[in-house]
Chain A
């Protein structure tokens, strides 16, 4: 079974982001970019499936500008077999990404697609569910544990009250949550090997997908800042403030 994983290039989670002065977005020039952390978990899960013999080939997909090649290379260095880049300089929104993924699924016929539950830049938490809908497939979202066997997947999901177990038919779309696994680091020899692995470059036009944004971003602003507070010396002082100043206990 082929497994397709989506890897998104995002601003590294350690970067303190800055809103552009003209309020059109956030500053991305000269900012460290990395693979979306949830997608590292997706790649790791696919590799573990391959190591167990449950997957035969891992394809890493990314959509966006040419630099997404680097993100795909990271996935290849971790252990994916080949890459597919849908190169686009338009702002790609989740529905567009889901349609591009569907086009690649139609071509490649994987038995499983693994994506992150959310990208840490736009925080949409949509793409996987949208892809499953477009394909008419089942979805195992916010996966904490995944077990694939005999045409079904058992998924333990992270939900509001704790954990939920479901059994879904394959093919399916899985979205990863934080506790699914701990992604490996790519070793130096594997980084070298990854340079030789193939990456196919496609365009939305060639795939026949309309990627025009549906949501118009009118402005992007700084959130309101919290006023700096004070340090108290003793617990007695803290309790006094909470009772008599804030009135919260």
Chain B
């Protein structure tokens, strides 16, 4: 049977994690359709059609879909779902909002944040902040699955799938979008950056995050933070890495002034190389770090910035 991947997008391109979702879908079946619902989303539909492994793109144009209101998107997905064996979304803030609504309307269970496809009905997913891995099997006829993007290698571009126009279902009038307060940044997006530098309570102020920004700019890195740093107001909420924030798995993760609570580790311990900078040599972060350096971050970070400069 065919797989339906529901794609989040910004009107111009589908999110980069759609390429990871298509890769995961390809392991569940061979015939992958991508749904691009939106208002003026032709460009986004084209970007989906260009992903390898995509057999078809459905473009649903409706003013109701302009801002990804779950109450309006879910009925469209539910209407399409009976033609598919699986409905797949990336486990980002869109997928987490929409997929359970779809699952409940279909009266099926949802598999959240799958990290591995064992077979079309069996998946591995982390529980307890990644301290245990559960293998779960679903008997539901339509399987609703969100996947953790960092665990599936993105498919490449170079495809040219046909795009089919379908109608929308209109607005339910339950929820309306008012506006967004998005963090502006020229830096690479946290979840897809090759290098991530995160700061914790040890930074002691938002002002001090400038130290990390300077280093990040030198390395072309994305910036993250611990919950403590977000709660203290040093940086916005979308910086949070962890069990209840974002999951990252870059080539290099540098944790600065972060103790390494399990909730934080849950979001970064799949990184290829981990560096920890902390003045407390007993800090748990050192247990997962490939390279640890014990000392005052206010001394080490500027030194590191200077050192990476002179190649």
Contacts and interface: CB of A to CB of B under 8 A. Distances in A.
Are A and B associated in one complex? yes
B293 A141 contact: no
Interface residues of A, number: 79
Contact of B294 (A126, A228, A231): A231
Interface residues of B, number: 87
B309 to A, nearest CB: 10
B127 A164 contact: no
Interface stretch (B30-38, B128-136, B157-165): B128-136
Contacts of B273: 242, 246, 248
Contact of B290 (A13, A229, A235): A229
Contact of A222 (B69, B71, B102, B132): B132
A165 interface: yes
Contacts of B246: 160
Given A95-B104, A178-B231, A223 B133 contact: yes
Contacts of A16: 131, 262
B92 A160 contact: yes
Nearest to A127: B100
Interface string A160-188: 11111111110000000111000000000
A123 B269 CA distance: 17
A113 interface: no
B132 A17 contact: yes
Contacts of A223: 126, 130-133
B238 A161 contact: yes
A229 B129 contact: no
A230 B293 CA distance: 9
- The B interface, classified by DSSP as helix, strand, loop or mixed, is mixed
Nearest to B183: A162
A215 B104 contact: no
Contact of A226 (B99, B288, B293): B288
A139 B174 CA distance: 9
B252 A239 contact: no
B135 A129 contact: no
Given A123-B126, A158-B238, A169 B290 contact: no
Interface of B: 69-71, 74, 92-94, 96-105, 107-113, 122, 126-140, 173-183, 191, 195, 219, 227, 230-231, 236-238, 243-244, 246, 251-252, 262-263, 269, 272-275, 281, 286-294, 300, 303-304, 307-308
Interface of A: 11, 13, 16-17, 19, 26, 38, 93-95, 98, 117-118, 120-134, 137-142, 144, 154, 157-169, 177-179, 214-223, 226, 228-236, 238-239, 241-242, 246, 248-249
9 contacts: A121-B128, A123-B129, A159-B180, A160-B94, A164-B177, A165-B178, A214-B109, A214-B138, A223-B126
